[in-house]
Amino acid sequence: MSARGRAKGEAQSGGPEQSSPPSLPAPDVKKFQQSVADLSVQIKDKENQRKRLTTGGQNVVQLNGELTRVTSELAEIGHLKSSTTAEVRGVEEQIKQLGPENSSKKEEANKVLVGLRYKTPERIEEALRKLRQQQMSRQFSENEEKRLQSEIDTLENSKDELREFLKTKAEIEEMIQKLGQLRERRNSLYRRSRELRTREGEAKDRQSQLRRQLAEARDKKKGLQKQQDTLTEEIDGLYKARQRLRDDFKKYQSEYLTANSRQETEERERESVRRGEERKERRKRQ
C-alpha cells in the first residue's frame, strides 16, 4: 500500500492509536522504603528510652532485697541476744551458788588448819619417826611414856585431819578455778551482748534508711511507669503506622499492577481492532 493509501486509511479510521497514559502513577518504592526506615528508627529510639526507664525501676528490687536481708539479720541478732542473756543468767546463777559454798569450805579448812601442828604429810611422818625412835631408844617413866604415846596418837589422828584439809583445799582451789572460768565466761558474754546491741542499733538504722529509700524508689517507679506506659502506647502506634504503611503500599501496588495490566489488555484489543480495520480497507481497494 502507498503512503497515500495509508494516510487515507488512517484518516478514515481516525488516525493511528496513541497509547493511553496509565490511570495510576507508579508506586514510589524509594519513598515507601524511606518512610518505613524513618518509622523503624523512631520505634528503636522509643524502645531504648523505655528500656532505660525499666532499668531505673530495678532499684526497687535491689532495695527490697537489701531490706529483706537486713530484717533477717535483725531477727538473727534478736535470737543471739536472747540466747546470750539466758546464758548470762545461767552463769551468774552458778557463780551465786559457788560463792557461798566456797566461803563455807574456806571457813571449814581454816578451822582444821588452826588445829594442825604440821601442814604436810612429810612433816608429820618425820615427827612420828623421831618420837618412835625416842620411844625405842630410851627408857621413860610411866607418865612420860603416856605423854609420848599421846603425842604419837595425836600425830596419827592429825594425818586424817590433814588429808581432810588437803581434800578441802583441793576442792577450794577447784572452785576458785571454776569461779574464775565462770567470771571470764560472764565477761565474754557481756562483751558479746554489747557487740550485739551495737550491731542491732546499726542494723535498725540501716533498716530505717532502706525503708525511706524504698518508699522514694517506689514513688519514682510510679512516675517511671507512667512514662513507660506512654512510650508503650507511642511504640504501639508507630508499629501500627508502619504496618498500615506496608499494607497501603502493598494494596496500592496491587491496584497499580491490576490497572496497568487492564490498560495493556485494552491497548492490545484496540490494536487488534485497528489492524482488522486496516485489512478491511486494503481488501476494498483491491
**Does residue 210 contact residue 46 with C-beta atoms inside 8 Å?**
no
Cα end-to-end span (Å), the chain: 10
Q: Is residue 2 part of a domain?
A: no
**Does residue 187 contact residue 54 with C-beta atoms inside 8 Å?**
no
pLDDT digit string (tens) for 54-79?
766 668 888 999 999 999 999 999 99
Identify the pLDDT of residue 57: 62
pLDDT digit string (tens) for 199-231?
999 999 999 999 999 888 888 878 778 888 899
Instruction: Report whether pLDDT(119) > 90.
Output: no
Nearest to 86 by CA among 171, 193, 170, 162: 193
Rounded average pLDDT over 40-60: 83
What DSSP character marks residue 13?
T
**Does residue 101 contact residue 161 with C-beta atoms inside 8 Å?**
no
Which band of pLDDT confidence, cut at 50, 70 and 90, is reported for residue 175? confident
Domain count, the chain: 1
**Mean pLDDT, the chain, whole residue set:** 83
Q: Is residue 16 part of a domain?
A: no
Radius of gyration over alpha carbons of the chain, in Å? 60
Own/partner contacts of 175-178, CB < 8 Å, gap of 24 or more, are 175/98, 175/101, 175/102, 175/105, 176/102, 178/98
Query: Largest alpha-carbon pair distance within the chain?
Result: 203
Rounded average pLDDT over 155-182: 84
Q: Which three cell numbers stand for residue 122?
A: 612429810
Q: Which three cell numbers stand for residue 171?
A: 576442792
* Residues 257, 174: Cα–Cα separation, whole Å: 113
Q: Is residue 19 part of a domain?
A: no
Q: Is residue 208 part of a domain?
A: yes
Q: Is residue 220 part of a domain?
A: yes
- For 123, the domain range is 30-285
Rounded average pLDDT over 171-200: 93
Identify the pLDDT of residue 151: 80
Q: Is residue 170 part of a domain?
A: yes
